[in-house]
Amino acid sequence: MTKPRDPPPRPAPRRAPTAAPAAPDDSRFIVHPLPSAYPKHGPPTPEDLAELAAWEREGGIGVLPRLLWPKIDHIITEDDEPVDNIFSEKQQRLLTESLYTSWAGPGEGRPFLAAANVGLFITVEFSPLVPDVMLAVDVRTHAFDLWAKEHRSFFMWHHGKAPEIVIEVVSNREGAENTRKRVRYAELGVSYYVIFDPLDQLGEGILHVFQLQGRTYVELPSRWFAEAQIGLTLWQGDYEGVTATWLRWRDAQGNLIPTGAERARAEHQRAEAERQRAETERQRAETARQRAEAERQRAEAERQRAEAERQRAETAEQQAALARDRSERLLAQLRALGIEPTNGD
């Protein structure tokens, strides 16, 4: 009788795949693939090599060296398809144009980039997000050729970080502003996410401001963005002939960041007020001059009156002296004739 064989060993149960290591909380910095994944763009220059060495010394975070920029020939940076309504277009322009005409930035030597409907790419493998408005501070700005493809969109490997602020304007209930987009902007590391729902189509209020804390957004009661040194406010007013509730930038004192038209109008009003002030001053000076002239003429008339009085008195004195002289000569003549005039003569 043969000994039965031992049953074959049972395969070990398959483990569920472990989750990827958690990204650091400060996810504003991009974790880039290995440099070998990126082709070089022509022979490296000494400047390219120095930039790469500095990037490696910093731990491979921040702005990606140009040698490691990915090929983007296949990326579509603009599709030429209109996607928004007139109000949203005006709102986007109101937010971007006012920054470039009237805002000096968050501080000296801190350039910024504001854009509307521009693609936001984290890698070449994923389709971009296209915020209605975004603001990034401390980034390379317009010292480069904006027609070059690598500068037509916001490539995060080029700037080394995500924008500080992203604003989405709700046009309908299909935009996923408070669901999918909110999650994706958090994954990208956008510090502040703003949802402006002017018609309250989502039924959650007109304005929501979120701050990235860890990997998720937490709604803020404040509308001030400390990292960018700028804030937002709702403003009821007329913009380009449309009276509505608009989302506007404000400074630390609560003053609106004016548009170019508002700034020109304020400058015109200031110049007009200065002109009126100068005209009032001119009229005041003219009145004072006329008053001084009248006083001079009055003094001159008084001088002439006094002079006439003096001359009259002098004439009277001369006439009196002549009369006395004539009288004395007559008395002398009478006495010479032996006639002594009496008091009655």
| Same domain membership, residue 200 and residue 156 | yes
pLDDT at 23 over 50: no
CA distance linking residue 169 with residue 117, whole number of Å = 11
230 and 267 in a single domain? The answer is: no
**183 and 94, same structural domain?**
yes
Count how many domains the chain has: 2
Is residue 136 domain-shared with residue 211, that is, in the same domain? Answer: yes
Q: Are residues 148 and 131 in the same domain?
A: yes
Could you tell me if residue 137 is inside a domain?
yes
Residue 91 has pLDDT above 80, yes or no: yes
Query: Which carries the bigger pLDDT value, residue 234 or residue 41?
Result: 234
Q: Is the pLDDT of residue 165 over 90?
A: yes
More confident residue, 91 or 9: 91
200 and 90 share one domain: yes
Same domain? For 247 and 266 the reply is: no
Q: Is the pLDDT of residue 293 over 90?
A: yes
CA distances from 63 to 34, 51, 121 (A): 14, 10, 14
Tell me the average pLDDT of the chain: 80
Q: How many residues appear in the chain?
A: 345
Tens digit of pLDDT for each residue in 180-232?
A: 999 999 998 999 999 999 999 988 999 999 999 998 999 999 999 999 999 99
Q: Do the beta carbons of residue 65 and residue 52 sit within 8 Å?
A: yes
The dihedrals phi and psi of 21, each to the nearest 5 degrees, come to -55, 140
User: Residue 271 above 90 pLDDT?
Assistant: yes
Mean pLDDT of all residues in 162-178: 88
Q: What is the pLDDT of residue 120?
A: 85
Query: Is the per-residue pLDDT at 80 higher than 70?
Result: no
* Helix, strand, coil percentages for the chain (3-state, nearest 5): 35, 15, 45
How high is the pLDDT of residue 255? 96
pLDDT for the residue numbered 124: 60
In a domain, 248, yes or no: yes
* 342 found inside a domain: no
Q: Please indicate, yes or no, whether residues 251 and 272 belong to a single structural domain of this protein.
A: no
- C-alpha dihedral, 327 to 333 to 334 to 337, nearest 10°: 180
Res 284: pLDDT: 95
C-alpha radius of gyration, the chain, whole number: 45
What domain range is 227 assigned to?
Answer: 83-258
For residue 43, being part of any structural domain is answered with no
State how far Cα 339 lies from the chain centre: 115
CA distance 316 to 114: 95
Task: Return the closest-CA partner of residue 129 out of 103, 88, 166, 161.
Answer: 166
* 20 contact partners, CB below 8 Å, separation of at least 6: none
- Look up residue 151 and give its two tokens: 């500068």
Q: Are residues 200 and 113 in the same domain?
A: yes
Q: Tell me if 117 sits within 8 A of 132, measured CB to CB.
A: yes
In a domain, residue 72? The reply is no
Long-range contacts of 23-27 (CB under 8 A, 24+ apart): 23/215, 25/214, 25/215, 26/189, 27/187, 27/188, 27/189, 27/212, 27/215
User: Mean per-residue pLDDT for 303-325?
Assistant: 91
* Choice among 128-132, 236-240, 243-247 with the minimum mean pLDDT: 128-132
The torsion angles phi and psi of 265, rounded to 5 degrees, stand at -65, -40
- 224, 240, 258: which is the final residue of a domain? 258
Q: What is the CATH number of the domain that holds 192?
A: 3.90.1570
**DSSP 8-class letter at 37:** G
Question: Mapping DSSP to helix (H, G, I), strand (E, B) and coil, where does residue 260 land?
Answer: helix
Residue 77 lies in a domain: no
Both 87 and 234 in one domain: the answer is: yes
In a domain, 238, yes or no: yes
Among candidate residues 229, 258, 287, the one where a domain is terminated? 258
**278 and 201, same structural domain?**
no
What is the pairing mode between strands 207-213 and 230-239?
A: unpaired
Distance CA 168, CA 193 (A): 8
The two three-digit tokens of residue 89, written as one number: 């277009």
Question: What percentage of the chain reaches a pLDDT higher than 70?
Answer: 71
Same domain, 169 and 183: yes
Six-digit token string for 251: 């400074």
Q: Per residue in 60-69, pLDDT tens?
A: 666 665 655 5
Phi/psi class of residue 229: alpha, beta or left (left: φ > 0; alpha: ψ in -120 to 50)? left
Domain boundary among 215, 230, 258: 258
Number of Cβ atoms within 10 Å of the Cβ of 255: 10
Distance CA 239, CA 261 (A): 10
So what's the pLDDT on residue 153?
80
Q: Give me the percent of the chain exceeding a pLDDT of 90.
A: 49
Q: How far apart are CA 219 and CA 25, in angstroms?
A: 18
Q: Could you list the beta-strand ranges (E) of the chain.
A: 112-115, 120-121, 133-137, 154-155, 165-169, 192-196, 207-213, 216-219, 224-225, 230-239, 242-250
